[in-house]
Chain A
């Protein structure tokens, strides 16, 4: 029988029951490999449920540092009878099954092309522990111990992790170490070695291991957010939980004990964005975190903030839509609903972080952009980045960086007689000046409204006043295109007529796919988008290639639509590469889709596609 042999390059998946305490054990497993200098990329695959439903944790061990989901399972740790059949079926031929063999299972429950490793976990735990909760929790640590022995993971590394986790809780520390070794001892004595192995390497470096939601929250702290209003919704909830955690550390005035922040859990998303808009109008940096369904509810306010020109930062941790959709699965399917949110002619700034490091950067940048452009700014992250720990470059902060508060007219400027027209373009960039309530006794006050007005904020339904205003808003948006984070290009080693555009959580899978295609001689230049509106570089990149693949995680090719619409590109030259089943896109999927297109083209007589 074939046997998968791999060192530092395999995928192991844990099938567990939600609420059984497996998550922290599985995370321990992943971190132990990281501490051996080998990159890992774990993903939680979990249901919309607190207890009882199936949950999985997939760990890709990748010395090359390919952090996207690979696809295919080399080893399954099958701890959930509910999903047994599907879990067994998923294992690659020649792969491994690790299971709890306490209860004998009929031969028909196994496959003859995989290697089966049975360990009587329940029996071992029942002998060692009398408390049912302990039996359950330590079973997880016992299997981590067994796996660590089977895969050659250093016990000392795991003990050090326990050490850090249970500092000051010596009893817990000792019992965890004991459970770990119970598993290791059994595996060493009773189980045959596997073809999968972890070997110490030096491929992690200074990188950090963090989830995107925590990173975005930290970015909001660094960016100076003082008001956060929110409503719980998966997968964004942990953004605000992390924000509160960081604020309890960094935003409590040491002399007074008072908070330099206000966090309010609102009654719904309408109220949360309403509070953000109220705070933004009044000069505080404010944000909310939500997901697509929440953005739908916020849409009226987003239109108000666009038209009345009020800063607002919205972190959208995207999940599968439409409607309640797939609340615990990932997609990039809110691009159009955010880019053009609300009725009438509206356009909004979107930032597109690729990993937790960019979640940090973009959250802070969004607060700057919102103030500078006096408009809603979306940070378009997703469940894959947001709720999974990801290896990424460390966070960086320039000590000289300040907050960009944009054009706020002061009492002194008003007193000096500076002309104040709230909606007047005095600088040619489409961005007007604003005043904050309470600034000056007699000058600079105005009535903010979602109805039309003239350049001095006086109610007006005159056509020319309306046109002046909405054309100025377009000018402002064009200015934004020159300021938002620019796209990053990766050129193929050889000249090519093929290009690919991608963004957000697709990055790691895309990088791996590009490497794989290069290895087979398929050269593709790639452009990673980091924001909407598009920088000039996007149109230039498309013009420089005959065909451009637009790789995204939604059904309707929403980024492609934005590109066609905003840049007036001939749609025929933009080839869809779409992944939308709720799992993160894989390099294999990208490679196969692009290869199929290239092969189909090669079979056809050459037909030149030109730009519109």
Chain B
């Protein structure tokens, strides 16, 4: 980590977005993570995505659990409220926060220890409920803060820094998310910003349960030969199924694409995701075939990345509960309290 803060003074030539902010307005405190940590690249991608989408920083709520990854919300969007909750429980806190005010953007940041071990249950149930959120797991296959124990996403047979082979099967968060009902499921690599930024933008605009598994190498404890979460391994085995272009309105396709290679997915707010398929036999809007594809290729040792599944007409928990369009936290005694007269009637019915 560095101790030297970048000066707050903004260079006048810094570009402003449509809501009047520069990229630097989306930054947070100085990261306390190790130099070269993949997590910092993800923070940078989040900053880029929010700036490009003209999101007002204070309309974002950042939630996390415990671990290296969960510290990162302090390092981006400094003007947003953040909540570093307890280990593995970010999804429930995010769900409650979302119920209280449906108008904010909820960004949950977690790690593989936080989401695949202690928090696997809450991860699963937040996906099942279709909470409108961007849920990012910064996945390095290792416990960093406690110095190098395997996490539950470490592949069987991968080697720890001390040379131990992992005997356990990995938890496949992507597979779980697709099976459990997440409506936007992507995987990316912290070292591939050109892929990651559009994926985050797509997730922000999705309007349902969006999950991104970002392989994010741990330079201190899991970046050696024999690890399947190292920079070298992921670069060598990265198999992108799609490239996502995020467009604000339905623009005409001007670039020449091979027939059947582009899929447009309209989002709930009228925005359109344009997907360039990199593999002919891949259909990211078909949950079952997407699951099969990913499983088959993972079995071959590939790290399948890109937007793996998206449900065009996704809805969310608020739709399921038919909650008021006005945020619940803004409602006062009128309309919430039925008043003394109604109570008299209740009393009468209890005699």
Contact = CB atoms under 8 A, between A and B. Distances in A.
Contact of A437 (B86, B104, B122): B104
Interface string B82-94: 1111100101111
Nearest to A437: B81
Interface residues of A, number: 73
B80 A445 contact: yes
B65 to A, nearest CB: 10
A220 to B, nearest CB: 10
B7 interface: no
Interface in A190-243: 204, 206-210, 218, 221-224, 226-227, 229
Nearest to A308: B83
Given A275-B93, A395-B347, A399-B339, A256 B324 contact: yes
B253 interface: no
Nearest to B338: A250
B93 A278 contact: yes
B96 A276 contact: yes
Contacts of B95: 229, 264, 271, 274-275, 278
Interface string B222-241: 00000000000000000000
A69 to B, nearest CB: 22
Given A209-B350, A226-B331, A440-B58, A447 B82 contact: yes
Contacts of B337: 221-224, 397, 403
A257 to B, nearest CB: 7
Contacts of A439: 58
Interface string A387-409: 00000001111110011000000
A321 B100 CA distance: 34
A264 to B, nearest CB: 7
Nearest to B99: A262
A257 B324 CA distance: 8
Interface string A245-275: 0000011010011111111101110111111
Contact of A258 (B80, B124, B325, B340): B325
A253 to B, nearest CB: 6
Given A264-B129, A281-B93, A402 B333 contact: yes
Contact of A262 (B321, B333, B347, B350): B321
Contacts of B331: 224, 226, 260
Contacts of A257: 322
Q: Which of A221, A275, A397, A437 has the most chain B CB atoms closer than 10 A to its own CB?
A: A437
A438 B343 contact: no
B328 to A, nearest CB: 4
B74 interface: yes
A272 B122 CA distance: 10
Interface stretch (A148-156, A282-290, A535-543): A282-290
Nearest to B347: A394
A260 B335 contact: yes
A275 B129 CA distance: 13
A448 B346 CA distance: 41
B181 to A, nearest CB: 14
A274 B103 contact: no
A435 to B, nearest CB: 7
Contact of B100 (A284, A396, A435): A284
A446 B351 CA distance: 51
Q: Which of A207, A208, A209, A441 has the most chain B CB atoms closer than 10 A to its own CB?
A: A441
Contact of B103 (A207, A251, A438): A438
Given A262-B328, A441-B58, A227 B100 contact: yes
Contact of B79 (A274, A284, A445): A445
B8 to A, nearest CB: 12
A224 B336 contact: yes
A270 B340 CA distance: 35
A448 B84 contact: yes
B125 interface: yes
Contact of B122 (A218, A271, A395, A436): A271
B86 A300 contact: yes
Contacts of B124: 267
A301 B337 CA distance: 28
Contacts of B74: 447, 459
A437 B73 CA distance: 14
B350 A263 contact: no
Chain B interface SS verdict (over half): helix
Nearest to B321: A262
B109 interface: no
Nearest to B102: A262
Given A282-B329, A440-B58, A253 B97 contact: no
B99 A251 contact: no
Nearest to A439: B58
Interface in B293-351: 317-318, 321-325, 328-329, 331-333, 335-340, 342-343, 346-347, 350-351
B321 A282 contact: no
B351 A438 contact: no
A218 B347 CA distance: 11
A451 interface: yes
A520 interface: no
Interface in A325-355: none
Q: Which of A208, A272, A447 has the most chain B CB atoms closer than 10 A to its own CB?
A: A447
Contacts of B84: 447-451
B59 interface: yes
B118 to A, nearest CB: 10
Nearest to A218: B346
A323 interface: no
Contacts of B112: none
Interface string A468-509: 000000000000000000000000000000000000000000
Q: Which of B125, B323, B325 has the most chain A CB atoms closer than 10 A to its own CB?
A: B323
Interface in A366-400: 394-399
A215 to B, nearest CB: 9
B285 interface: no
B78 interface: yes
A458 to B, nearest CB: 9
B116 interface: no
A108 interface: no
Q: Which of B129, B329, B331, B342 has the most chain A CB atoms closer than 10 A to its own CB?
A: B329
A286 B99 CA distance: 10
A205 to B, nearest CB: 10
A277 interface: yes
B350 A437 contact: no
A301 B86 CA distance: 7
Given A279-B100, A284-B329, A439-B58, 15 more contacts: A226-B329, A251-B335, A266-B125, A272-B92, A274-B92, A275-B96, A278-B93, A278-B96, A280-B96, A286-B96, A301-B89, A396-B343, A397-B339, A442-B79, A447-B73
Interface of B: 56-59, 61, 63, 73-74, 78-86, 89, 91-101, 103-104, 121-122, 124-125, 129, 317-318, 321-325, 328-329, 331-333, 335-340, 342-343, 346-347, 350-351
Interface of A: 204, 206-210, 218, 221-224, 226-227, 229, 250-251, 253, 256-264, 266-268, 270-284, 286, 300-301, 304, 308, 394-399, 402-403, 435-442, 445-451, 459
Sort A-B residue pairs by CB-CB distance and give the 4 closest, nearest first.
Answer: A278-B96, A274-B92, A275-B96, A284-B100
28 contacts: A208-B351, A209-B350, A210-B350, A224-B333, A226-B336, A227-B328, A250-B338, A251-B335, A260-B335, A261-B323, A262-B99, A262-B323, A270-B89, A271-B91, A274-B86, A274-B91, A277-B93, A278-B96, A278-B97, A283-B101, A284-B101, A300-B86, A301-B86, A394-B350, A437-B81, A438-B81, A445-B81, A446-B81
